[in-house]
Structure 1
């Protein structure tokens, strides 16, 4: 397909596609003449990933380039490549003071050991979880943090579902796109569904309304 057709199929403007080409995010097409090139489905898949990284994941061009480089590195396995993509979607906000954070780091690390989860301590999600645990204890809501293992176990089936969706994708670009979009938008979906479930449980616990048949 020509660049105009690629633009139409991807929803990315032609000037933006040319910019991605110049920045090395998108591989060059097959030259067919002076200033003419042909593009294929691989370019379309890569454009979808670039959009996910920049528009959904909020990455800079430089950070997106790092993810693309990881995808194209033949020495990296699928697990490491998807780890790079996952880290792009991590959000870390300072919620607590340094003392609370240090204690929470150890608490989250101990949880990972108890559950036997194969997660490196440098994973951004470890830091994000520690910030939240530290804030909960600092604000006097340690009873929530005390259920850390229970919350983690409750999320394990969701992770299994995520892996099932992920492995159904064809190709590493599509899988990486799914990781970025699934983490950013999926977190929002899970939060919304949690609120709906809480409303349903509250109706049963506090208003005497019987639970609907399940």
Structure 2
């Protein structure tokens, strides 16, 4: 197909497709003449993945480039690909040097040890968790650590579901892409489902008059 058809099928403007090619995110089309190139299903699939990581996953172009590089390395183990994708989901590498931060790092190290997780407190996700717990403590919600293991139980269950999906993929390419999709887009899906569950749990716990009193179950806002 020509680049115009690729644009129509994916909804991505032609200039944007050319930009992705220049940045190395999307392979160049096969030249059929000096000014024409042909694109195939693999281009369409890669383009849809790029847009999903950008629009749903909230990743930046440079982060997507790192993930795609890992995805295209056939010798790289799935576990390493998963690590590259997960590391790009982290927040800014900024951490305050105060008592709350130190206490949070200790809590996270204890959690990792207690759960027997095969990772380390230097993992970017652990750093994100430490920053989050420290921020909660500064706001007077340090007691949130009391429910940390309940969150860990849920996180383990979600992680097992993610990787069970990956194991069902037959082709190696599908498996590698499944790791990326399950990590990046699964993060967005879990966040959305958590918000839905919050509305339901709040209504059941605090709304004695039923679901039509402005808890968000009717209009989906959850803020009235």
TM bin (shorter chain): 0.7 to 0.9
Per-residue Cα deviation, 1:142-193 (whole angstroms, up to 9, x for no partner): 3321232232113322222233344445342354234222213432322332
Measured after TM superposition, the shift of residue 16 of structure 1 is 0.8
Q: CA RMSD in A?
A: 2.7
| Pair 1:161 & 2:165 matched | no
| Matched position secondary structure for 2:81 | helix
In the TM superposition, residue 93 of structure 1 has moved relative to its aligned partner by: 8.7
| SS state at 2:31 partner | strand
Q: Is residue 163–residue 179 contact of structure 2 (8 Å, CA) maintained in 1?
A: no
TM-score scaled by length of structure 1: 0.81
Aligned length, in residue pairs: 206
* TM-score, structure 2 as length reference: 0.78
Which of 198, 204, 207 pairs up with 1:200? 204
Tell me, yes or no, if the aligned pair for 2:166 and 2:175 is still in contact at 8 Å.
Answer: no
CA distance in 2, matches of 1:93, 1:187: 22
More deviation in 103-112 or 74-83?
A: 74-83
**C-alpha separation between the residues in 2 aligned to 1:195 and 1:97?**
36
Higher mean alpha-carbon deviation, 13-22 vs 155-164, is at 155-164
- The 2-side partners of 1:154 and 1:125 are apart by 16
Deviations 1:45-71 (A, max 9, x none): 211221123333333333322222222
In 2, the alpha carbon distance for the partners of 1:143 and 1:7 equals 51
Q: How does 1:1-214 map to 2 (within 5 A)?
A: 1-91=1-91, 98-168=98-168, 170-203=174-207, 207=208
| Structure 1: 5+ residue stretches without partners | 210-214
Larger CA deviation: 21-30 vs 83-92 = 83-92
Partner SS for 2:32: strand
Q: Distance in 2 between matches of 1:33 and 1:96?
A: 57
Work out the CA distance in 2 between the residues paired with 1:20 and 1:155: 34
| Secondary structure, counterpart of 1:31 in structure 2 | strand
Q: State whether residues 112 and 120 of structure 2, in contact with CA within 8 Å, keep that contact through their aligned partners in structure 1.
A: no
Distance (Å, rounded) in 1 between the aligned partners of 2:191 and 2:104: 22
Deviates more, 1:92-101 or 1:124-133: 92-101
Alpha-carbon contact 2:54-2:61 (below 8 Å) kept: yes
The gaps in structure 2 that reach 5 residues or longer are 211-224
More contact order relative to length (CA 8 Å, sep ≥ 6): 1
